[in-house]
Each structure stands twice: as structure tokens, then as C-alpha cells.
Amino acid sequence: MSPGPLYRPPAPRALPPVRALLRSAFSGSRDLLSLLPEEAYRTWIAPLGVSRRGILLVNEPDMVRRIFGSDVATYPKNDLFVGALRPLIGDGVFVSDGDVWKRQRQMIEPSFGHMQVGRAFAAMEAATGAVQPILDARAADGEVLSLDAAVSHLTADIICRAVFSTTLESDAARRIFEDFAVFQETVANVRIARLLWGRPWAEVSQPAPARAACERIRRQIAGLIAARTDKSGEGARDIAGDIISARDPATGIGFSQQELVDQIGVFFLAGHETSATAVLWALFVLSQNPDLAARVRAEIDAEAGDGPIGLESVKRLALTRAVLRETLRLYPPGPFLPRVAARETEIGGYRLRRGAMVMVSPWIIHRHSGLWRNPDLFDESRFLSGSDAAVPAGAYLPFGLGPRVCIGAAFATVESTFLIAHLIRRYDIEVCAPEAVRPVARLTTRPARDIRVRLSRR
């Protein structure tokens, strides 16, 4: 089957500069994507709007590589971002810095190697197996459901099973995710005014309900860890087991109880809504492109027939993976990766004061007109071998770059490819109001409203 014309998936329209400036100065908007000026998608480096601390937008791939690579110590993670997450994950690997981060990363990395992703695949299979009868029943009833909720439930269940060998239906896990929803909703309320007018390194205070939710999540995680460490020597073969038995190669010392809670909090935070976002947008795109969906289904049928889609099959699903990668280009789950200048410095001819914000945005870089051909069109062939629409070097960073690149990238790629394949093979997805779907930047790149769908068994 030959591909049809390229599809333009929904995105906010970029604003002419003056309107962008006015809107960002005065609007109560919570969504950074809709405030971006047209120029942001064309420039290589430029100040973004007007702000107290100065926000420098950097799009040029070599400069981005410098910020995330050789100069990583000069540009640590942004203080506002870190401050917002600390009540939940303390000094966990997602927000820590310097030697503390290096030690944590060394101790955690082995849990996400290829062997471990193979082990986690069993969790992915079990979670899809558990949700299937529920989705089948809703499909049979012709019920309208939230695709966001269905996919988030799946990835939350996977992370519970992969980390703690427990399901989302367990009491502790259910409470953790209920509180997560409270935390996410509050933290996602990025106050644009604060971003523009706040002082660097000022304390970030969370509203009481978010703080309380974090405390409850940490208590639940501590309880799950304690139950595990009490049964000494029983170490289940899962990520929590790995992290509990991890030792610092230099000192032979393991993580303290508090550090264990921090790290495991990170996996819940970084490891489910991100993948859910990727799968959600991929399914939305497929639902709007019957020809592409047919080609993806043909690939899955040829590989797995009606049988289970095993790990080796997932690795061979080149077109499905290309659809995932193109989805991660147009809807990177982490739309902004903000940094802060830890000292006075210079980049691309701009002098930066200590505390200046440096904004690197996969959302913008992935749609930059100087880097991509037809940047706003969905063209999965960019990620197929032999394609002439090559991916520009250094211009694709859905998982970040350099030493702080996503630790779960291999896990997430297998998981998302598997979930897309499983769901698109089994169901036709009819979106209730596709024209109303609009992406916004929350903790991840979410649709402004839930995507309501009707599933039908194929």
C-alpha cells in the first residue's frame, strides 16, 4: 500500500511576536506552547520574551550539545523545575547534581540495561493482558471512554509491576497514583508570571494539597520498601530489588532508606506519564490516518499473526517504531528541558548572568524550519532506513542528550512500541471530536482535554 499525502497533526498556531509578548506578559494562560512566537521556530539562539532573570532560547544543535554535554556543570537543571519536584523526589537522580548525581546514576543504570528491559517485558505483557477484558467489554458496549485514562492506567500498572512486582490494583499502588494525579495537576499549573518575574533560586512553595499528596506518596513507597527489606535475602527480581541491592562501586555502600524513596519516586514520576503521552499521541495519529494504521497492522500481522507480540517481534516492528519516533518528534513528552546558568558565562555571543534561564525545547527544535523538511507534517519515513528525509544530526532529543539522557529510553521504546502494536492490532479507534484535540504543555505534552474515543474490536 502506498502512503497517502502527509498529515498535519494538531498544534497551536505560533503567534506574531508582539502578540506573543503581550499574551505572555498579561495572560493567565497555563500553557507555554500557545505563547511561543513564530520566531522561536526559526531562530538559532535568541532571548525569549521579556523577563526578570532573562530566558535564552537555544535551538542550534552544537550549542545544545554543549549545554547538555561538555558544559553540563555550568548548566544544571533549572531551579524552578527542581524546586517543584523536590517535595516528591527529594534529591533523586532526576534532579540531583554533581557527585551525588554521578554516584546515583552509576548505581541505577544497571537496572535499565538490555537484560533488565527483557525482564520488564513480562510486566508489559501482564499489564496488557489484565486490561484487555476491560477494554473488550467497553468496546462491546460501544461505550465512550477516555483514551488518556486507559493508556495512563496501562503504563502506571506496568511501572508498578516492573518496579515492585505488584499491580495497580493493590491498595498501596492505587493510593500512590491517586496522589500522583493531585500532585501532577498542581505542579502542572506553571505560573507563567513566576517563570518570567521570579528570582532565580527563590524557594518554590507548593500548595498544601500537593505537599500533603507528596508526603503520602513517600510514606506508601517507604512502606513498600520496608516490606521488601524486612524479608532479607528474598530480593524479588524487579527494579526495586535491584535498587535495594545496588552498591556504590567506590565505597560498597548502598542507598539509605530516604534515598531509596527518592529514587523509586523518580521511577513513578518519570516512568509512566511520559510513555503514556507517547502512546496516546501515536494512537491519535493512527486513528486519523487509516492508511498508515493499515500499514502498521499489516506489519504486525506479518510479524506475529494472531499470536502474542513477543519482545523479539517488537524489535522487528520497524514501521511501528518509526511511527513512535515521529510521534516523539511532534509530541515530545518533555516539551521543555530548562537549565540555569550556575555562573556568569557566554554562549553564541550572548553573555549570561548567573541565574539566567536557558531554555532548550525538544518541542521547538523538533519543529524548527531550519532543521526539518516539512517540520509540521507527520512523516514516519524520516525514521525508516533508506529514507532520504534524513533526521538532522543533534536535532532529535525526545530523551534528552549527554550524560543526563533518559535512563529509561530503551525501556520506554520497547514499552511504547509494544503498547501501540497491541492496541492498534486489537481495536479500531474512533475519536469523538478529533478537530477539538489540542496539545498543551503540562508536566508532559498532554491534550488540553481528554481524548474521548469509541473502541471496536477488529
State which residue, 145 or 266, has the beta carbon closest to ligand HEM.
266
Q: What CA–CA distances, in Å, run from 363 to 56, 396, 397, 417? A: 15, 10, 9, 21
Distance CA 228, CA 4 (A): 53
What are the counts of helices (DSSP H) followed by strands (DSSP E) for the chain? 17, 11
Minimum CB distance to ligand HEM, residue 388 (Å): 26
CA angle 61, 63, 65 (to 5 degrees): 70
Minimum CB distance to ligand HEM, residue 18 (Å): 31
Candidate list 398, 420, 439, 447; residue touching ligand HEM; CB under 6 A:
398
State which residue, 139 or 419, has the beta carbon closest to ligand HEM.
419
278 near ligand HEM, judged by CB under 6 A: yes
Site string for ligand HEM, 97-126 (x = CB under 6 A): --------x---------------------
State which residue, 337 or 429, has the beta carbon closest to ligand HEM.
337
State which residue, 142 or 403, has the beta carbon closest to ligand HEM.
403
93 near ligand HEM, judged by CB under 6 A: yes
3-state class of 261 per DSSP? Answer: helix
Candidate list 364, 412, 429, 440; residue touching ligand HEM; CB under 6 A:
412
Residue 251 in grid coordinates:
565505597
333 near ligand HEM, judged by CB under 6 A: yes
Candidate list 41, 183, 255, 411; residue touching ligand HEM; CB under 6 A:
411
Distance CA 68, CA 340 (A): 12
Distance CA 24, CA 192 (A): 7
Neighbouring residues of 71: CB distance < 8 A, sequence distance ≥ 6: 345
3-state class of 428 per DSSP? Answer: strand
Candidate list 75, 94, 121, 331; residue touching ligand HEM; CB under 6 A:
94
Site string for ligand HEM, 132-171 (x = CB under 6 A): ----------------------------------------
State which residue, 293 or 358, has the beta carbon closest to ligand HEM.
358
Q: What CA–CA distances, in Å, run from 284 to 196, 306, 403? A: 33, 23, 32
Type and span of the H or E element at 455: strand 452-457
Candidate list 34, 416, 417, 445; residue touching ligand HEM; CB under 6 A:
416
321 near ligand HEM, judged by CB under 6 A: no
Type and span of the H or E element at 161: helix 147-164
Residue 334 in grid coordinates:
518533555
72 near ligand HEM, judged by CB under 6 A: no
Span of 18-26, 175-183, 301-309, 405-413 interacting with ligand HEM by CB under 6 A: 405-413
Neighbouring residues of 458: CB distance < 8 A, sequence distance ≥ 6: 297, 425, 426, 427, 428
Minimum CB distance to ligand HEM, residue 434 (Å): 23
Site for ligand HEM in 73-92 (CB under 6 A): 77
307-341 exposure pattern, b = at least 16 Cβ within 10 A, e = fewer: eebeeebbeebebbbbbbbbbbbbbbbbbbbbbbb
Site string for ligand HEM, 211-250 (x = CB under 6 A): ----------------------------------------
User: Whose CA is closest to 243, among 258, 100, 251?
Assistant: 258
Footprint of ligand HEM (CB under 6 A) = 77, 93-94, 105, 266-267, 270-271, 274-275, 278, 333-334, 337, 398-400, 404, 406-408, 411-412, 416
